[in-house]
Structure 1
Amino acid sequence: MKVILFGATGMVGQGVLRECLRSAEVESLLVIGRSPTHRQVAKLHEILREDFLDFSDIESELTGYDACFFCLGVSSIGLNERHYRQLTYDITLAAARTLAKLNPASTFIYVSGRGTDSTEQGRLMWARVKGKTENDLLKLPFQAYLFRPGAIQPLHGIESKTRWINTVYRVGAPLWSWLNKVAPRYITTTEQLGRAMIKVARDGYPTPELESEDINKVAVVPANAGTHHP
């Protein structure tokens, strides 16, 4: 597959980047972001840009792709609805509409979140905005899948770019084993997210929405199957 990845330097995106580089299923990977990944791998290409609302200047570089993994996202903490909508809905749909036009037979996988409000009418602002984003992605001509993870455990040295989130993860690190035992349906890892995206892009899934339990089920693969280590 030829894959486009947005948000490769965020916590989720780092995990997806790692699995894409390790997977023999991904023959070519285009990363679009504001910051470089600092990875030197033959199949990896990067486009650095500041404008994520208009991609008309690089449309020729976005054609011929089989899938897009959209991992850009921000916390709603401290943001009003207008600003959060711009960073969540507007940016996502700008990329999605461009890719749907250029690659209508492709697959678009969007990282949303557990508790997303598909009715767009609930009291939680972030959930309404995510719900609107999901609903409008499903109206586009490509095949869209909505990943709704709950708690995400970062593996392999991956960290968030947000300092307070890293502090929470460090303080809570001793609880992960316990949480995996008592609430496995609500927890996934950066590794499982990346593996699941590749498998869903390749094989599809019965429903467009995947919760943590679905993600973990899809991500189960035999050891070393279809992977290499760049």
Structure 2
Amino acid sequence: MKLLLTGATGFLGHEVLRQALDDDGIERVTALTRRPVGMAHAKLQEVVITDFLDYSTLDLRDCDACIWSLGVSQFQITEEQYVRITLDYTMAAARALFAANPHARFCFVSGRSADPQEKKGALYARIKGRTERQLEAWSESVFVFRPGYIRPTARSGPRKDLARLFAPIGTVMSMMGKDLSVDCDKLASCLLDVAKHGADRHLLVNSDIRDWKAA
């Protein structure tokens, strides 16, 4: 299997990359990134790009799946920038991938509060939900993941973004129920398993991810 990955320099994406490189069932990982990932591996192909709206120079015909974990906090940028990164970048990649390989799988990391009906007031909920809706209308090979708080573990290492401040709360949340948080390495494992084998549902909420059993 040949995997396309975004967000490899981020918290979740880096854990996905680490597990993918250790997976004998994955032949190649193509990481689309703005800056070097910072590691060397025989299976890793880095593609540094400046425009996540343009895939005309990439040959995606042999990509079997994409894990889209590229994201940014709505509080760090303007609304226009957030829509471009969350919605426009994602849809441009999905269209390019499915045009090259209609049978590929596209795994989109959304969020627990995403609202496809866009009735919630939060920008995050509306734009993540809009992206889900447009992706699902585009192809039946789309799988949406809605994790809650993504907890750091000994394997994944600590978070480096602002959400690191909530790590102690995330531990408490994990004991309150299966809908609120998930370990980073568990989410990465679930993403990779669905990318490789698909799933019997196209929407996986936090509890589904926590209960996921790899094929």
- Please report how far the alpha carbon of residue 79 of structure 1 lies from its aligned counterpart in structure 2 after TM superposition: 3.6
SS at match of 2:54: coil
Q: Which residue of 1 aligns with 2:66?
A: 68
Aligned to 1:94: 92
Contact 1:121 1:128 (8 Å CA) reproduced? yes
The alpha carbon displacement at 1:160 in A equals: 4.1
Counterparts of 1:103 and 1:115, CA distance in 2: 31
Q: 2:208 aligns with which of 181, 206, 214?
A: 214
Instruction: Work out which of the residue numbers 187, 196, 204 in structure 2 matches 1:202.
Output: 196
Question: For 1:131-142, what aligned pairs fall within 5 Å after superposition?
Answer: 131-141=129-139
Query: In the alignment, what sits opposite 1:6?
Result: 6
* Contact 1:105 1:143 (C-alpha < 8 Å) held by counterparts: yes
Give, in whole Å, the separation in 1 of the partners of 2:182 and 2:48: 29
Deviation at 1:141, TM superposition (A): 3.3
Conserved 8 A contact 2:116-2:126: yes
C-alpha offsets along residues 124-150 of structure 1, whole Å, 9 cap, x if unaligned?
A: 221111111111111223500011000
Whether the aligned pair in 2 keeps the contact of 1:106 and 1:142 (CA below 8 Å) is no
Could you tell me which amino acid in structure 1 is paired with residue 157 of structure 2?
A: I
1:75 partner letter: S
Counterpart CA distance in 2 for 1:195 and 1:143 is 19
Distance 2:37 2:98 in 1: 26
Q: Is the 8 A contact 2:151 2:171 kept in 1?
A: no
CA distance in 1, matches of 2:156, 2:193: 23
The answer to whether structure 1 residue 186 and structure 2 residue 185 are counterparts is no
Q: Comparing both chains, which one has the higher relative contact order based on Cα–Cα distances under 8 Å and sequence gaps of 6 or more?
A: 1
How far does the alpha carbon of each residue in 1:41-82 deviate from its partner, in whole angstroms, 9 at most, with x for none? Answer: 111111011111111122x2x221110000000111154432
Aligned AA for 1:25?
G
With over 3 angstroms needed to count, the CA separation of the structure-2 counterparts of 1:177 and 1:117, relative to structure 1, is: closer
**Are the equivalent residues in 1 in contact too, given 2:156–2:185 (CA < 8 A)?**
no
Determine if contact 1:14/1:158 at 8 Å carries over to the other structure.
Answer: no
Match of 1:154 among 152, 155, 171: 152
Query: What TM-score results when the alignment is normalised by the length of structure 2?
Result: 0.91
Matched letter for residue 63 of structure 2: Y
Greater Cα shift, 96-105 or 71-80: 71-80
Opposite residue 18 of structure 1, the aligned amino acid is R
Give the counterpart letter for 1:196 in structure 2.
C
Where structure 1 has 5 or more consecutive residues not aligned to the other structure, the ranges are: none
For this pair of structures, how many residues does the alignment match?
Answer: 214
TM-score with structure 1 setting the length:
0.86
